[in-house]
A and B are shown apart, each in its own frame.
Chain A
């Protein structure tokens, strides 16, 4: 038993790695790779997995659940409100229009109205996974096409919840059939009369919202205080699994619960941390989901009815494309943006699998209808990249505008972002000074107490480990202009510096360092903007001492500037030298030796004086010399 489980895991992972690599090499979406590997290892081709495919599908649905949780996290109520017109407008037209046309299509084909309705619901949904991935890969998120797609997909993700809530109402309540398959699941919902089902759904939604506020966030804060990172990962999973369990217990989609949980937590300081923790798992589980889907494509169904399936596939894609084009037309998108929108969202999405199997479980759909729709869905997803390539290579160039024309978003300020890492005494001074000049920075900090406090003070602060690429990315480093590292941990500065050099070389990186030696190290790593925290303060103190000894304040303040310049120059000169020191272990001795060197140099140079302006003594001396000659 254990052996076969391990064997299956090996098959899945190997299949994924091979097929996704090939798909990527061919410039196709990774989704295609996953689907393809599912098909290959599935019962109809290589037959490595048989009926277990369904169990795996069930497990892999966690990928979809997590994706919805993460989408929920994205939707801060504030952002949602700002985008409400495009989300509801474009999304509403797209979903409504597609449902209407496909409902007519399927009733014309002679299906029962309930079946036609469920299928048209499934058809109306596009693939968030495919579309968002392509948009992000091509860097089109900020175009009108990008925002339009995002709005429509978001609307779909929300509407799917209502669909999932609505489908049970269509169920044939003969009683006898419905308990047959689900007799051993603990579904509360199925034991309830219809009216109470809706009530139970409402109650569980309210329960999630309340628990999110008063249970989950306080719990996360307690966990964060322990500073054990694994615990936070565990907590993230606990949230997702807990909500899923509750939803499954009630008998509605766990995805619905996860989405709501995400929305509830989107305003908390743990948003980015949760996002970056779950992101890799989500992708892998989604991959597994796609593989399971691929494995469950029934090729016998295709072989039995190739014409019907091919015809339906084309008809559905045409309907979706037409509605999308009209939507773009109504919202006055330029032709190129409209075509991109039309072709990238014309497929049926992964939620169709969820909807269809849900409806099938409730015996609304017959097995053959479901098999057919599953095949069409998988095929429509598979040909999306091909359609996109045709659009980009053959259609767009003809209409004269290229997809690479990027329109700036309405709010340009956001693209001039500043990320501030570390909000201790040093960082907070920077943050406050910036803020008092109307410059807001996205703040990352690792102290959950401080994060909590600062959020109460109205700062945009996020909890998390800033050395992680994914956290920096979710904090928006791709669009950032400057990253300030105000922590005194050199390991953090080095890690962030490396990320910026490797991935985001356009971002300016400004670093606080504790001392000269940290500064050497950072300079040698190719960081330009290094700020020693002790330099200015110690010189201010020294300046005040000299002022008390009778030196003039103006002269001293100029001398401080001179000294800083001289010291920065020497820092840069000596940084390469310091690296050559072999006995780095005897740091104290080296330090002393170097200090001695500096002091001797200073003594030789005397007072750091660069300018002779206003110096009548100097002028008098020079005049005397001239006269003597």
Chain B
């Protein structure tokens, strides 16, 4: 069974309905290490050696965060800047993260329709996530399409619960031998048949 590290990053978690439901569903699962970065580093002073140790111990890295101004919260960017060091995560002979699986789990206020070439946001979520994709690639990780919960402002409690169940299933899938080949060029991990709720 693969070990999963969820790096959760939300400056106002206590005010987030969607993320509360999502996190509650997965944080206590077996084989999952759930890290709330804003609780752990309220002053942005990241303990880099400790974070590197955590990364080493896990096979799947999940960046779980809300999508705000088309990017991640500042502490997560800080985490990327500080922890993924040259000579360790990337650069010549740096292979600490080699072949690990990496993905973004995001929530967006805006709906799927807004995020496309004809929508108000002009680009797809995947296009906005390019920096994360390339970060993972640079570190030799295999980057999966995102799992996205979109239009959260208008989602009903039931719909959110449904997403939470999908997230839970996704975690179980990732703990098995799920690779990029299994995604069959899907846009979102939400779309893979295995997550369909009956």
Let me know if B15 is at the binding interface, CB within 8 A: yes
Complex-state Cα separation, A620 to B38, whole angstroms: 22
Docked complex Cα distance between A347 and B75 (Å)? 71
A610 within 8 A of B: no
- Kindly state the separation between the CA atoms of A553 and B11 in the bound complex, as whole angstroms: 10
* B109 and A616 form a contact (CB under 8 A): yes
Q: Is the CB of B42 within 8 A of A557?
A: yes
CB atoms of A620 and B42 under 8 A apart: no
> Which residues of A sit under 8 angstroms from B43, Cβ to Cβ?
557
Number of A-B contacts (CB under 8 A): 53
7 more contacts with CB within 8 A, not counting A613-B68, A614-B10, are A552-B14, A553-B39, A553-B40, A554-B41, A616-B66, A620-B17, A623-B154
Q: How many angstroms between the C-alpha atoms of A278 and B66 in the bound complex?
A: 70
Nearest CB of B to A47, in Å: 81
Q: Would you give the 0/1 interface string for B7-41, flagging 1 where the beta carbon is closer than 8 Å to chain A?
A: 00011111111100000000000000000001111
Contact mask for chain A residues 3-32; partner B; CB cutoff 8 A; 1 contact, 0 none = 000000000000000000000000000000
Contact B12 A614 (CB under 8 A): yes
CB atoms of B38 and A553 under 8 A apart:
yes
Compute how far the CA of A613 lies from the CA of B10 in the bound complex, rounded to whole angstroms: 11
CB within 8 Å for A617 and B11 given contacts A552-B39, A553-B39, A623-B153:
no
Given A553-B42, A554-B39, A557-B43: A617 and B17 within 8 A (CB)?
yes
CB distance from B156 to the nearest CB of A (A): 12
Q: Mark B86-104, 1 if CB is under 8 A from A, else 0.
A: 0000000000000000000
Number of residues from B at the complex interface, CB < 8 A: 23
Kindly list chain B residues whose C-beta atoms are within 8 Å of the C-beta of A55. Answer: none
Q: Which residues of A contact B75 (CB under 8 A)?
A: 554
Any B CB within 8 A of the CB of A542: no
Asked if A616 and B39 sit within 8 Å, CB to CB, the answer is: no
Asked if A555 CB lies within 8 Å of chain B CBs, one says: yes
Query: Do A614 and B68 form a contact, CB below 8 Å, given A552-B13, A555-B14?
Result: yes
The docked-state distance in angstroms from the alpha carbon of A61 to that of B107 is: 88
A617–B17 alpha-carbon span in the complex (Å): 8
With a cutoff of 8 Å between Cβ atoms, the chain B residues found around residue A582 in the complex are: none
Give the contacting residue for B153; candidates A552, A613, A614, A619; CB below 8 A.
A619
Tell me the minimal C-beta distance from A548 to chain B in angstroms: 13
Q: Are B73 and A616 in contact (CB under 8 A)?
A: no
14 pairs of residues in contact across A and B, judged by CB atoms under 8 Å: A552-B14, A553-B38, A553-B39, A553-B42, A554-B11, A554-B75, A555-B12, A557-B42, A558-B42, A613-B68, A614-B66, A614-B68, A616-B153, A623-B153
**Interface residues as binary, B150-163 with A (CB distance below 8 Å gives 1, 0 otherwise):** 00111000000000
CA A141 – CA B103 in complex, angstroms? 67
Question: What's the nearest-Cβ distance from chain B to residue A75, in Å?
Answer: 47
Residues in B neighbouring A614, C-beta threshold 8 A: 10-12, 15, 66, 68, 73
Contact code string A608-629 (vs B, CB < 8 Å = 1, else 0): 0000011111111001000000
Q: Residues of A contacting B15 with CB < 8 Å?
A: 614-618
Given the contacts A552-B38, A554-B38, A554-B42, A616 and B17 also touching, CB distance less than 8 Å = yes
In the assembled complex, which residues on chain A have CB atoms less than 8 Å from the CB atom of B66? Answer: 614, 616
- The A533-559 residues at the B interface (CB cut-off 8 A) are 551-558
| In the complex, chain B residues 43-80 whose Cβ is within 8 Å of any chain A Cβ | 43, 66, 68, 73, 75
